[in-house]
Amino acid sequence: MKNDNKDLGEKKSLSDQSLLSDLIGAEDEIWEAMHFDFEVVEEPLGLKEEVLNFVLESEDENVTPWGKIKTLIQSVRNQFTPLTTSLSAAMLLGIFMLTTPLIQGPSVEKFSEISATMKLNVAEGEEGEVYGQAFLLNKSGKEELVVNVFDFPQTKGQEVYQVWLIDNGQRQSAGIFRPDKEGYGVLTVDMSKLNSFDTIGITLEPNTKSKQPRGKKIVGT
């Protein structure tokens, strides 16, 4: 029995080392690709190490996973264009979802899988560089929608941003959010009580009571 446990431990260690090697290789390839981004000013010292530490460090009880992702994405977007930042966001989320079960140990039964990604582009007629991404996740058999947005203007008074899921012109509300002072916002949605959809839109609503869009569209797929 002791030998069996030892063998299992050695296999898990080798598996983790192999995964780490693969992540380093993939991260290096993406990092090199970023040099073709014509708005790069200077590669921030230590950012590559931050990305790897993000997936390897022990959990901090005072920092949520989305908080970590937000911090790293903000570091990247200070140096690169929105396109590269969006690719980096997808990479970070993918790495986090794939490695969290290994880091946390056997208590996590299943991996999270990113089943779809959708880019949120600025709506026609809107100014500014607002943008975002949405991810559909299969998490232990449960489907979730995660919406991340960047550079959104601050809301005023009772205003909120509302996410709409659209199927053949029919809209259903997925939830509301307000961005932080830096324009970053995130919304996580349990899809079990919502219908399937083809596209996503985000509008600026006067308050939280909108059953259908009343405000202007900010971004959409």
Given a cut of 80, is residue 31 above it in pLDDT?
A: no
Give the neighbor-by-neighbor strand order of the sheet with 199-205.
170-177, 160-167, 199-205, 217-220, 112-122, 131-139, 142-150, 185-190
Which of 60, 77, 109 represents a domain boundary (last residue)? Answer: 109
Same-domain pairing of 9 and 55:
yes
Q: Give how many domains the chain has, as a whole number.
A: 2
- Tell me the pTM: 0.59
Residue where a domain stops, chosen among 70, 93, 109 = 109
C-alpha to C-alpha distance for 37 and 34, rounded to whole angstroms: 5
pLDDT tens per residue, range 32-55: 555 555 444 444 455 555 555 554
- Domain shared by 93 and 135, yes or no: no
Beta carbons within 10 angstroms of residue 48's beta carbon? 14
Residue 2, burial from CB neighbour count under 10 angstroms (0-12, 13-18, 19+): exposed
CATH number, position 189: 2.60.40.200
The per-residue pLDDT for 210 is: 96
Structural domain of residue 94, as residue ranges?
A: 1-109
